[in-house]
Amino acid sequence: MASLLRTTARMRLFSAHSIVRPTSRLPMPAFAAASSRHMASAAAAAAVPDAGEQPFFDDEPRGPIIKTEIPGPKSQEAIKRLTKVFDTRSLNMMADYTSSFGNYLADLDGNLLLDVYAQIASIPVGYNNPSLLLAASSPQMASSIINRPALGNFPSHDWADILETGILSVAPRGLNQVFTGQSGSDANELAYKAAFMWKRRQERGGADVDFTPEEMSSAMNNQAPGAPSLSILSFKSAFHGRLFGSLSTTRSKPIHKLDIPAFDWPQAPFPALKYPLEAHAEENAKEEQRCLDETERLITTFHHPPAAVVIEPIQSEGGDNHATPAFFRGLRALTRKHGILLIVDEVQTGVGATGRFWAHEHWGLDDAPDMVTFSKKAQTAGYYFGNPELRPNKPYRQFNTWMGDPARAILFRAIIKEVERLDLVRNTANTGEYLYAELERLAQQYPAEVKNLRGKGQGTFIAWDSPRRDEVLKKAKSVGINIGGSGERAVRLRPMLVFQRHHADILLDGLEKVFKS
């Protein structure tokens, strides 16, 4: 803890872009210094607005440190102990968070990895971020931890303030209400429930029309009309969570769904585009139209009619599948045309990662989505909405004991302030532009290693297909980098918002080492 406090005391309070110093004076990470990267990147640098940069954290390590195989002996011992009480078969690395800092993840054996996976895309502004530590050490945080309210019944007197100065201050354009939850799955299911209640209200003829006795009694028996035969339409390869309703809209991998009962809900094809997008504009447009046509057919003919369509701006767990803004605008038009709702699942794309605060800002919609769900980097969860009709007509219809967690809402507020203070959305856009250009070069140099590079103009939300993906991810650890995969063969980059050019250089050098091996 001593080191954290020291860091806090030395916390920098200038904007990331207020000081520009020559690239040559950047603190060169030990690992990257000997490589050829900086010569290779000189040409690309001119295209990037912020060629010179100031590190966000004085105390951040200068590069990865690899002392042992991963897991090393101490980690192995700790894993052995944990295995007795916890399923460790999905364990990737036993972490030591007290020794992690900024973009670097530590383990018990003294290894320190540049982390471009970031707890499955959910660490926003670096490990042990000093500003977040201040918020987490505040009396307000302590009170919210130990006096957790049932928010729907007994909200705390500062709840309006916490919402207004935090979560709501980043609400997507056109959406001014929030319903708080606890995880991405939970956020989506709450949004689905809101959609079903809204749809039935339309069918019933408005908020004032009361439930019929038949609806009341059939609902208690899980039968229509009280428990209606409605559905949520999702897309092939989508991931929206793993609770029973959200899992019914998830179509990522069999292992996520096997043996779990599911609702008979429709799935539309997601466009299978060719990359780079700009080189295949015409055939991609055709493919997107085909998918929109099939979506419309399902909306109008599926035997359990959809109340809403749910979609990710970039299918993340499903393999980093992109579509163009035209596709999403088409989807918005379709949902309007057929009187159903559009739910945009920004659980993984939200909070800056694509170079906009919300990824759907890239689409140029005239007409906001009906709901936008969030979690992960927000460190809390829930959904935004704008239409007052998405508040059910009676209380206790959208309700649960906790209805979110003020502690996490306070943390999200601190995250938002940090994103603003360091201009991190712009940083992510700029770093992403640089990184993408360098990856294009690597793709040309190692065409067998980097296929279907994607995420241009999408901040650092970048991925490519790799014929030996799992081996690449494993080898990356040995050169000091923690990377994740998505889908069957994609390498996905999900760095934090404090990921800068000098981190990108370390990543690129590491990847080149792996590709050469």
Residues from 177 through 206 that contact its own copies (CB under 8 A): 177-179, 182-186, 189, 192-193, 196-197, 199-201
Provide the β-strand partners of residue 268: 235
**Contact between 248 and its own copies (CB under 8 A)?**
yes
CB 311 within 8 A of CB 232: no
- Shortest gap between Cβ of 108 and its own copies (angstroms)? 5
114 near its own copies (CB under 8 A): no
Which entry of 345, 370, 405, 509 is annotated as an active-site residue? 345
Among 23, 68, 76, 119, binds its own copies (CB under 8 A): 119
- What is the C-alpha to C-alpha distance for residues 10 and 8, in angstroms, rounded to an integer? 5
Residues 280/274, Cβ–Cβ less than 8 Å? yes
* Catalytic residue list contains 300: no
User: First CA to last CA across the chain, in angstroms?
Assistant: 39
Using CB under 8 A as the binding rule, the residues of this chain from 201 to 230 that contact its own copies are 201, 211, 215-217, 219-223, 226-230
Stretch that binds its own copies, among 12-20, 105-113, 442-450, 452-460 (CB under 8 A): 105-113
Q: Angle 424-445/501-516 helices, nearest 10 degrees?
A: 20
Give catalytic status of residue 186 as yes or no: no
Tokens 């993840």 belong to: 105
Residue 250 or 431 with smaller CB distance to its own copies:
250
Between residue 309 and residue 338, which ones bind its own copies under the rule CB under 8 A?
none
d(CA 25, CA 54): 10
| DSSP, residue by residue, 251-290 | -S-HHHHTT-------EEPPP---SSGGGGHHHHHHHHHH
36 contacts its own copies (rule: CB under 8 A): no
In the window 386-445, what residues touch its own copies (CB under 8 A)? Answer: 391, 394-402, 407, 411
Strand pairing partners for 342? 309
- Nearest CB to its own copies, comparing residues 40 and 227: 227
373 is a contact residue toward its own copies (CB under 8 A): no
Rg (CA), the chain: 24
Alpha carbon separation from 4 to 68, 153, 410, 437, 500 (Å, rounded): 25, 37, 20, 36, 22
Query: By CB under 8 A, how many residues form the interface with its own copies?
Result: 128
Binding-site member from 29, 102, 172, 245 for its own copies (CB under 8 A): 245
Q: Are strands 177-181 and 104-106 parallel, antiparallel or unpaired?
A: unpaired
CB under 8 A: which stretch of 52-60, 118-126, 440-448, 499-507 binds its own copies?
A: 118-126
Residue 239 known to be catalytic = yes
507 binds its own copies (CB under 8 A): no
Tell me how far, at minimum, the Cβ of 435 lies from its own copies, in Å: 23
